[in-house]
């Protein structure tokens, strides 16, 4: 099982008329892996996911899940996947419980005590009508729906949008747990921090093309940060400008602000050897900045 | 004044109004060309009840009969129906869709929004009434029928004000409750009750004046086509309109706007009551979601109940006793009715109970009722789930696309059978009540045929829905096709040289065998069933081949 990819795509391409929503996507995702699928809005993440679910058919290329072709074996595949669509919509007239019962009936065989446990973990109210729930609470019903039949493969499109931070963390723990049990998670997102927290590997997609696949630890080292340091006394800009990986330095009295890509540890050690550091504020650079810095050339050639 | 809300409402609604008034003009052309060939002597003898229900004035001639039959009844109903739809949707729909917050996030007051919507309704109704007015001159000119001396303009004005009356009533109820279904249902109910009250009460001695309590009296009670505008009656309607507008403004301003919530139904109340919880939970909860087709059925229960009820009571039970109110001279008179005239309204010899029922119930209303239900279910079946973005989730389950199509088609069949059965039960009861002695088997056969006819067009809507995933295309496409086929089946037989082509229309296989007199024609039934089956198979193929839409 382990030498066979769980999700595999080969030259997957989708054109809508002249629009190339997805171009030559090649993925090879293994069992027990959490694969983050990262890209800005409109990059083609949802197109890729909808192709895997056989909602739409590729113009060129093919995809398989658990060794089965996503089109020919679509029904068999769906026995083994839990799906969380992006921009989730459900039946507003049904309660959460009714909704889950409906899907359980269509699937056959759902362990209701497990559903109750999931509902408790996510703090979901299943007695209310879905139409009366806030979007975050609706999202919880969608998540339970994806988890409830203990699928081997999870395919989730922006699953944590609308969830509050506590529930997001709970959700991240849940996918970590299922991954540790050998299940596979395909997680699309447009925020780097979310993917970094849970994923093992990250595929970065932009303008329909996969521009890079990275191990998360490597991506982390590439992450550009906006750093603000406060000191007890005045500092010199030149010291910072000379440091490798530091750019766009501006000094203002006891404070310095700059962009940095490199290991935090190295930077802090060097700074603290020299000055009396009072406070640190760091902010993650947005995805677009990372793209521009690292993947600009590759995007053209891949 | 809020040009954008105003124009947006017009844009959302003009197509329905255009299609409805266009079809009415076509029907008028058709009816007038029929009536031209009539022996006019028969109108003098026409029974009061017959005329009253169809809204035909006593001093009828070719033009006034055609205009009266079409505009005073169908035309007025259609206009009122359109305005009820627009009025009930005005505020309540935006609440339901969750767009009201966005709309009111702009610096516009609730009153402003309401007034803009009301203004667009006035304009649309005005245009529709003016179009109908103009079309009568066009049609009578083309056919060279004399209509001078007839107050078509007065009738149009009455129709206009009448439609606004119901439209604004629906708007007021919608503004108070925020519930579109309640607004549309209550207003349509009032319309039906008052049409029948105004048609029937005058025949009951001592009750003649009670009709004045019903608003429909102020539309047609003065026979505006003959007598011109009755300003007193118009004034009554306008007073109602003014009151409704005030009520709507107060209603929408005083209450909390609803979120995108779904309201509390009777079932929900029963579900939360510990006494009834267990039973109702099974019914409303676990049973309702046990299968795709049952869930689909439950989504359409309101439509099903209303349509079934109308067909049972109004078009079934009540029509029977009315037959006895027809005076005896009608019997002789109908011999002079050319077949063509009767064909226009579904045919039938009105001197017999069967012919009476065919004219009143089976000719037009029963196919319409069946199609309302089948087309609603068929069009929403696939396109509805796609447009509400639930199809992806549904198909993420281990089920084939073909299973979804087939289960939805099955739900449509059950819906059609329900309405068909309600019609059967109503007509059978009406025949019994009126002592008409119609053959139960023949009634059943006719109801089965109309059920199958409805399914043909429902299956067409399903196929369009499967091919495109667009609800509007499916609804308008199938209604348009149904109208064309209806006209073809009624028009073509009038000319011998093209009569054979009528067989290409599904309607031919519904009434051409006179099922009320001769019973079920299994051959015709098989053709309709075969067409339905073919379209469902086509739906499966089309739906399997295509990419699901991504909406929103």
Distances (CA, A) of A198 to A173, A220, B425: 8, 12, 63
Residues of A in contact with B285 (CB under 8 A): 95, 97-98, 101
Interface test with A, best of B181, B293, B298, B393 (most A CBs within 10 A): B393
Write the CA distances from B533 to A158, B297, B527, integer angstroms. 41, 19, 10
Question: Which sign does the torsion angle of CA B496, B500, B501, B506 carry?
Answer: positive
The token pair at A8 is 């595999």
Segment A75-82 shows an average pLDDT of 91
B497 reaches A (C-beta below 8 A): no
What is the spatial distance between Cα B373 and Cα B308, in angstroms, rounded to a whole number? Answer: 10
List strands edge to edge, sheet with A34-38. Answer: A68-69, A60-65, A7-16, A19-29, A209-215, A201-206, A34-38, A184-189, A153-157, A81-84
Closest-CA distance, A214 to chain B, in angstroms, reads 29
Q: Which residues pair with A28 in a beta bridge?
A: A8
Q: Which of B286, B295, B547 lies closest to A56 in CB terms?
A: B547
User: Which residues of B fall within a CB distance of 8 Å from A141?
Assistant: none
First CA to last CA distance, chain B: 29
pLDDT tens per residue across span B274-327: 777 777 776 666 777 888 999 998 888 888 888 898 889 878 888 888 777 765
pLDDT tens, A22-32?
A: 999 999 999 99
Residues facing residue A13 across a β-bridge: A60
Asked if A19 is an interface residue toward chain B (Cβ–Cβ < 8 A), one would say: no
Smallest CA-to-CA distance from B361 within B392, B296, B409, B316 is with B316
A252: number of Cβ within 10 Å: 10
Say which residue the tokens 């105003």 belong to.
B6
φ/ψ bin of B170: left (φ > 0), alpha (ψ from -120 to 50), beta (otherwise): alpha
Query: How far apart are alpha carbons B216 and B231 in whole angstroms?
Result: 15
Chain A residues touching residue B396 (CB < 8 angstroms): 53, 78, 81, 83, 85
pLDDT at res. B37: 60
* Annotation: CATH topology of A224-284: Alpha-Beta Plaits (3.30.70)
Give CA–CA dist B388/B386, Å, rounded: 5
- Per-residue pLDDT tens for A134-186? 889 999 999 999 999 999 999 999 998 889 999 999 999 999 999 999 999 99
DSSP B202: G
Place of tokens 């890729």: A48
Cα-based distances in Å from B445 to A20, B421, B517: 56, 11, 10
Task: List CB contacts of A2: < 8 A, sequence separation 6 or more.
Answer: A30, A31
Q: For A2-15, what is each residue's pLDDT tens digit? A: 578 999 999 999 99
A302 has pLDDT over 50: no
Structure pTM? 0.75
CA geometry: angle at B536 spanning B534 and B542, to 5°?
105
Q: What is the pLDDT of residue A300?
A: 41
Torsion angle, alpha carbons of A220, A224, A228, A234, to 10: 110
> Does B283 contact A at CB distance below 8 Å?
no
End-to-end CA distance of chain A: 30
pLDDT of residue B41: 47
Q: What confidence tens digit (pLDDT) does each residue in A256-282 have?
A: 998 888 888 888 898 888 889 999 998
Q: What is the mean pLDDT of residues A191-196?
A: 82
Distance CA A290, CA A219 (A): 10
Q: Could A56 and B548 be called an inter-chain contact, meaning their C-beta atoms sit closer than 8 Å?
A: yes
Q: How do the domains of chain A map onto residue ranges? A: 7-220, 224-284
Under-70 pLDDT residues of chain B: 1-3, 34-66, 69, 200, 203-205, 259-267, 269, 282-285, 326-350, 494-495, 552
Q: Which residues of B touch A101 (CB under 8 A)?
A: 285-286, 289-290
ipTM of this complex? 0.77
In sequence order, the β-bridge partners of residue A214 are A202
* Chain B residues touching residue A88 (CB < 8 angstroms): 389, 393
Chosen CATH of A7-220 out of 3.40.50.20, 3.40.50.300, 3.30.2350.10, 3.10.310.10: 3.40.50.300
Q: Mean pLDDT over all residues of chain A?
A: 87
- Is B314 exposed, middle or buried, given 0-12, 13-18 or 19+ CB atoms closer than 10 A? middle
Contact B62, B36 (CB under 8 A): yes
């Amino acid at each position: 099982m382990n030498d066979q990819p769980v999700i595999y795509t080969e030259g997957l391409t989708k054109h809508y008329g002249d629009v190339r929503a997805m171009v030559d996507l090649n993925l090879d995702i293994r069992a027990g892996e959490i694969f983050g699928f990262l890209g800005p809005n409109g990059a083609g993440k949802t197109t890729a996911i909808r192709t895997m679910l056989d909602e739409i058919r590729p113009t060129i290329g093919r995809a398989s899940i658990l060794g089965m072709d996503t089109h020919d074996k679509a029904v068999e595949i769906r026995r083994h996947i839990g799906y969380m669509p992006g921009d989730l919509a459900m039946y507003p007239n049904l309660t959460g419980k009714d909704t889950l019962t409906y899907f359980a009936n269509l699937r056959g065989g759902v362990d209701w005590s497990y559903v109750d446990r999931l509902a408790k973990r996510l703090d979901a109210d299943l007695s209310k009508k879905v139409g009366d729930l806030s979007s975050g609470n609706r999202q919880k019903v969608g998540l339970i729906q994806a988890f409830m039949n203990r699928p081997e493969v999870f395919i989730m499109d922006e699953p944590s949008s609308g969830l509050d931070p506590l529930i997001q963390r709970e959700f991240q723990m849940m996918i970590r747990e299922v991954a540790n049990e050998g299940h596979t998670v395909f997680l699309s997102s447009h925020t780097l921090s979310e993917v970094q927290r849970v994923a093992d590997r990250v595929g970065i997609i932009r303008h329909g093309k996969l521009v890079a696949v990275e191990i998360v630890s490597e991506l982390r080292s590439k992450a550009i940060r906006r750093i603000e340091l406060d000191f007890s006394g005045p500092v010199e800009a030149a010291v910072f400008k000379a440091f490798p990986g530091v750019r766009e330095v501006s000094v203002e009295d006891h404070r310095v602000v700059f962009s940095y890509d490199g290991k935090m540890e190295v930077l802090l050690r060097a700074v603290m050897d020299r000055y009396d550091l009072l406070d640190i504020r760091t902010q993650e650079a947005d995805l677009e900045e990372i793209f521009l810095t690292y993947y600009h050339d590759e995007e053209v050639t891949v | 004044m809020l040009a954008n809300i105003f124009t947006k409402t017009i844009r959302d609604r003009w197509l329905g109004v255009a299609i409805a008034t266009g079809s009415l003009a076509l029907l008028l052309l058709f009816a007038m060309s029929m009536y031209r060939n009539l022996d006019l002597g028969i109108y003098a003898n026409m029974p009061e009840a017959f005329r009253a229900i169809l809204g035909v004035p006593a001093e009828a001639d070719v033009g006034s009969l055609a205009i009266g039959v079409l505009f005073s009844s169908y035309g007025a109903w259609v206009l009122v129906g359109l305005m009820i739809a627009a009025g009930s949707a005005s505020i309540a729909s935006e609440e339901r869709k969750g767009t009201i917050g966005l709309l009111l996030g702009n610096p516009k007051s609730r009153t402003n929004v309401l007034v803009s919507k009301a203004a667009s309704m006035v304009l649309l109704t005005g245009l529709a009434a003016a179009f109908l007015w103009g079309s009568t001159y066009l049609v009578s000119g083309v056919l060279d029928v004399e209509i001078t001396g007839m107050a078509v303009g007065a009738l149009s004005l009455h129709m206009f004000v009448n439609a606004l009356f119901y439209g604004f009533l629906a708007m007021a109820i919608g503004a108070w409750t925020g519930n579109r279904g309640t607004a549309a249902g209550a207003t349509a109910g009032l319309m039906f009750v008052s049409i029948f009250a105004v048609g029937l009460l005058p025949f009951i001695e001592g009750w003649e004046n009670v009709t004045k309590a019903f608003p429909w009296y102020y539309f047609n009670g003065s026979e505006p086509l003959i007598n011109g505008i009755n300003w007193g009656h118009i004034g009554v309607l306008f007073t109602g309109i003014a009151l409704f507008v005030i009520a709507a403004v107060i209603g929408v301003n005083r209450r909390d706007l609803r979120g995108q919530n779904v309201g509390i139904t009777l079932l929900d109340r029963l579900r939360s009551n510990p006494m009834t919880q267990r039973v109702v939970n099974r019914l409303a909860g676990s049973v309702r979601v046990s299968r795709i087709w049952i869930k689909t059925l439950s989504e359409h229960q309101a439509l099903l109940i209303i349509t079934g009820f109308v067909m049972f009571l109004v078009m079934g039970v009540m029509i029977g006793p009315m037959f006895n109110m027809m005076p005896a001279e009608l019997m002789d008179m109908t011999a002079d009715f050319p077949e063509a005239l009767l064909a226009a309204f579904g045919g039938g010899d009105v001197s017999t109970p069967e012919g009476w029922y065919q004219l009143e119930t089976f000719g037009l209303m029963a196919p319409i009722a069946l199609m309302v239900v089948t087309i609603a279910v068929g069009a929403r079946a696939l396109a509805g789930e796609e447009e509400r973005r639930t199809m992806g989730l549904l198909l993420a389950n281990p089920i084939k696309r073909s299973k979804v199509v087939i289960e939805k088609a099955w739900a449509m069949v059950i819906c059609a059978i329900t309405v068909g059965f309600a019609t059967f039960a109503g007509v059978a009861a009406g025949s019994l009540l009126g002592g008409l002695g119609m053959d139960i088997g023949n009634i059943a056969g006719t109801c089965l045929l109309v059920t199958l006819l409805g399914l043909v067009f429902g299956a067409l809507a399903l196929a369009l829905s499967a091919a495109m995933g667009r609800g509007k295309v499916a609804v308008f496409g199938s209604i348009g096709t149904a109208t064309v086929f209806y006209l073809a089946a009624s028009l073509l037989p009038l000319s011998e040289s093209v009569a054979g082509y009528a067989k290409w229309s599904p309607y031919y296989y519904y009434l051409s065998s006179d099922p009320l007199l001769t019973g079920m024609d299994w051959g015709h039934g098989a053709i309709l069933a075969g067409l339905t089956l073919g379209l469902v198979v086509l739906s499966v193929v089309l739906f399997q081949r295509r990419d699901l839409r991504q909406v929103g």
